[in-house]
């Protein structure tokens, strides 16, 4: 089997997820070098996964002669720059979401990728979740008919530290962005308008940091459908990820995912297990699928399923959602671009 030789920049939470996935579950991949400014951390990760080459400087990964493609897992504000550097080095790119908080920066990076003729895929892993893939197939097969109403429920088990909000761009940019991408993916249509009703109900510190933790976001799509996303930073029962698409011919929905399917009938009621607790468990399979598809596509020069433009659009919707929240009115996407 032809293997793709990969470098990874960033060995924080998502970096570790990708490295573990690539090493353990993607036979088409070989991780040849990794980098992180925190040399201590990168060394530990390298040892844990049997990767021989590691650096403190990300450039060393890009310049490594064996590296054919680079996976960007560094902080968001470095993404656009790294994309440009990797593209200019003539190597392929997998970049975590969001690409950047600025549309202009993203557009600049995409332009460099285009010029360099390399491939760029953005990390919307949920598109490769078996449940959501099935929903997408039902829409594409015509079984749902014309989409009328899209509903996404997306709730985290616990909020990140309040200070994270400043860095991440806030809830819409770091959490809901997955739902914005999913909304476009499932309906197969662009979002044209956003209205946000958001508030702080979980933790006042989040509010003090200028962010929200609970939201209902209404979407209008170019194809006439309407949609709604509901978010919370804290569901005491764990990670809650559901999709429903209602159309002229039927409705398809995907429920939460559970570690096993037992039921226990006792004198006080019927009981079953909580959903899988967080994204590393729930989306394990999607991370592996995503990387397999990326490697296959690079190896065989095939088109990628998530483009730079997909990264751009989801950030634009997040910006519109934030603007709608701040200005307390529906916001057209055309106001953002």
For a copy of itself, the binding residues (CB under 8 A) are: 24-25, 27, 130-131, 133-135, 138, 143, 145-146, 148-149, 151, 153, 155, 195, 197-199, 201-202, 214-216, 218, 220, 224-228, 230, 232, 234-237, 240, 246, 248-257, 259-267, 269-274, 328-330
CB of 165 to a copy of itself, least distance (A): 18
Q: Is the Cβ of residue 88 or residue 323 nearer to a copy of itself in the bound state?
A: 323
Peptide bond into 80 cis (omega under 30): no
d(CA 323, CA 325): 5
Structure token digits, residue 224: 């006439």
DSSP annotation of 191 reads E
d(CA 313, CA 320): 11
CA gap 197, 217 in Å, rounded: 6
Identify which of residues 65 and 270 has a Cβ nearer to a copy of itself in the complex: 270
Q: Among residues 21 and 76, whose Cβ is nearest to a copy of itself?
A: 21
In the complex, minimum distance from the CB of residue 144 to a copy of itself, in angstroms, rounded to a whole number: 8
* Residues in the chain, overall count: 337
Q: Is 81 or 256 the residue whose CB approaches a copy of itself more closely?
A: 256
Task: Give least dist CB 49 to a copy of itself, A.
Answer: 10
CA distance 299 to 138: 29
Shortest Å, Cβ 209 to a copy of itself: 19
- Closer to a copy of itself by CB, 26 or 118: give it: 26
Shortest Å distance, C-beta 206 to a copy of itself:
13
User: Which spans in 9-57 are helix H?
Assistant: 13-25, 39-48
Closest CB to a copy of itself among 85 and 285? 285
Nearest to residue 91, comparing CAs of 71, 111, 77?
A: 71
How near is the Cβ of 269 to a copy of itself at its closest, in Å?
Answer: 5
CB-count burial class (<10 Å; 0-12, 13-18, 19+) for 268: exposed
Q: What angle do CA 289, 294, 296 make, to 5 degrees?
A: 95
Nearest-approach distance from CB 207 to a copy of itself, in angstroms: 12
Which residue, 40 or 248, is less far from a copy of itself as judged by CB?
Answer: 248
Residue 310: is it exposed, middle or buried by C-beta count within 10 angstroms (0-12/13-18/19+)? buried
Minimum distance from residue 295 beta carbon to a copy of itself (Å): 16
When the beta carbons of 18 and 91 are compared against a copy of itself, the nearer one is: 18
State how far the alpha carbon of 27 is from the alpha carbons of 32, 130, 204, in Å: 14, 19, 46
How far apart (Å, rounded) are the C-alpha atoms in residues 101 and 203?
A: 24
């Amino acid at each position: 089997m032809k293997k793709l030789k990969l470098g990874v920049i960033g060995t924080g939470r998502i970096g570790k997820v990708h490295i573990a996935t690539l090493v353990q579950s993607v036979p088409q991949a070989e991780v040849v070098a990794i980098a992180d400014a925190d040399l201590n951390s990168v060394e530990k990760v390298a040892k844990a996964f049997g990767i021989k080459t590691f650096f403190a400087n990300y450039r060393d990964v890009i310049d490594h002669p064996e590296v054919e493609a680079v996976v960007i897992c560094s902080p968001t504000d470095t993404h656009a720059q790294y994309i440009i550097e990797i593209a200019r080095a003539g190597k392929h790119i997998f970049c975590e979401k969001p690409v950047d908080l600025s549309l202009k920066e993203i557009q600049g990076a995409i332009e460099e990728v285009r010029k360099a003729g390399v491939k760029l895929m953005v990390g919307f892993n949920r598109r490769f979740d078996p449940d959501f893939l099935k929903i997408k197939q039902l829409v594409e097969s015509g079984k749902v008919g014309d989409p009328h109403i899209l509903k996404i429920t997306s709730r985290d088990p616990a909020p990140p530290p309040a200070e994270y909000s400043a860095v991440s761009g806030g809830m819409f940019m770091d959490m809901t962005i997955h739902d914005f991408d999913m909304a476009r993916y499932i309906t197969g249509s662009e979002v044209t308008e956003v209205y946000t009703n958001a508030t702080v109900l979980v933790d006042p510190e989040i509010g003090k940091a200028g962010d929200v933790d609970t939201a209902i976001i209404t979407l209008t799509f170019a194809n006439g459908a309407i949609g709604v996303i509901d978010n919370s930073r804290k569901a005491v029962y764990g990670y809650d990820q559901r999709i429903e698409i209602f159309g002229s011919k039927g409705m398809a929905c995907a429920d939460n995912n559970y570690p096993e399917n037992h039921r226990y009938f006792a004198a006080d009621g019927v009981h079953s297990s909580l959903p899988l607790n967080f994204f590393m468990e729930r989306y394990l399979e999607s991370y592996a699928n995503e990387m397999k598809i990326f490697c296959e596509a690079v190896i065989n020069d095939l088109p990628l399923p998530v483009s730079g433009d997909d990264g751009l659009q989801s950030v634009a919707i997040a910006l519109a959602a934030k603007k709608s929240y701040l200005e307390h009115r529906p916001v057209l996407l055309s106001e953002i671009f």
